[in-house]
Amino acid sequence: MKISQVVQEYVGLKQAMGSRFHAESVILKAFCRAMEDAALAEVTAERVMAYIAGTGCVTRFWHRKHEALRGFYRFAIARGYTRSCPLPEKLPRPSRVFTPYIYSSDELRRLINATEQCVSSRTKLQVATLRTVLLLLYGAGLRISEALSLTGRNCHAANIQAAAW
């Protein structure tokens, strides 16, 4: 049986049981592409490890891919689509945990002053807007996605909470 058929059945079952299962679905579809939609029995442990490892070091995403494939292979073994799981028994530890960098006052000042150089005819943002976003990211410790998802409603609620505090 082709990997894509088993993946489709597995994802369909998980979603029918009420799981959103979106990220796992994306991982499993990428796995199908990486294995060139071969028969499930033809997939070797080396090819699976090459897919999980990707091009970099061991990260949380490495473990997430492993976890998605582990559930997939449990499903496939339980239904008799394959006899064994080609995943490694022993899992490597993720590489060093990210250490945040805190800018000095001088570095932050130079970064803010550098926003003037970012403005060109193709840029739609003004210098003041870039500076404000930069200070918001730094001062509140936000990720870029969190800052981009802010709306006027979020800002109004934050002002109310700040005033109450």
Question: In angstroms, rounded to a whole number, what is the distance separating the alpha carbons of residues 34 and 15?
Answer: 23
pLDDT score, position 107: 93
Structure-model confidence comparison of residues 36 and 165, the more confident one: 36
- Model pLDDT, residue 165: 45
The residue among 99 and 110 whose pLDDT is bigger is 110
Is the pLDDT at 95 greater than 70? The verdict is no
| Helix, strand, coil % in the chain, rounded to nearest 5 | 65, 0, 35
Domains of the chain listed by start with CATH number = 3-78 (1.10.150), 105-164 (no CATH)
Cα separations in angstroms, 74 against 62, 69, 81, 133, 148 = 18, 8, 10, 46, 39
Q: What is the pLDDT of residue 77?
A: 95
Residue type, 17: M
Whole-number pLDDT of residue 158: 52
Q: How confident is the model at residue 103 (pLDDT cuts 50, 70, 90)?
A: confident
